[in-house]
């Protein structure tokens, strides 16, 4: 195993590059692991977990946002900036 060494010229060692590569790959690997775990559950089990998380959720529906449903923070920021 390579050891990390501080260098005076600011260059990175092989271990640093390997760690950076592993850190960059982690989100994809974790996403695949979680998806595989989810698919291993039955549909009924996933539905029960969804109800446990949010009892008011309607299965398979996405509620569109109405115009003005979210606060417009630009006005707050402009008021704050003008003070």
Give tens-digit pLDDT for 70-79: 767 777 777 7
Output the CA angle 43-56-59, nearest 5 degrees: 35
Do residues 26 and 20 lie in contact, with contact meaning Cβ atoms separated by under 8 Å? no
pLDDT of residue 60: 61
- pTM for the predicted model, two decimal places: 0.42
Structure tokens at 78: 């402009």
pLDDT lower than 50: segments of the chain: 1
**Measured between alpha carbons, how far is residue 16 from residues 1, 8, 24, 47, 72 in Å?**
12, 15, 12, 43, 43
């Amino acid at each position: 195993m390579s050891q990390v060494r501080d260098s005076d010229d600011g260059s990175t060692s092989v271990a640093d590059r390997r760690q950076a590569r592993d850190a960059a790959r982690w989100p994809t690997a974790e996403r695949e692991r979680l998806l595989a775990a989810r698919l291993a559950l039955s549909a009924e089990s996933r539905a029960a977990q969804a109800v446990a998380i949010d009892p008011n959720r309607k299965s398979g529906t996405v509620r569109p946002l109405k115009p003005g449903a979210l606060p417009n923070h630009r006005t707050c920021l402009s008021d704050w900036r003008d003070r």
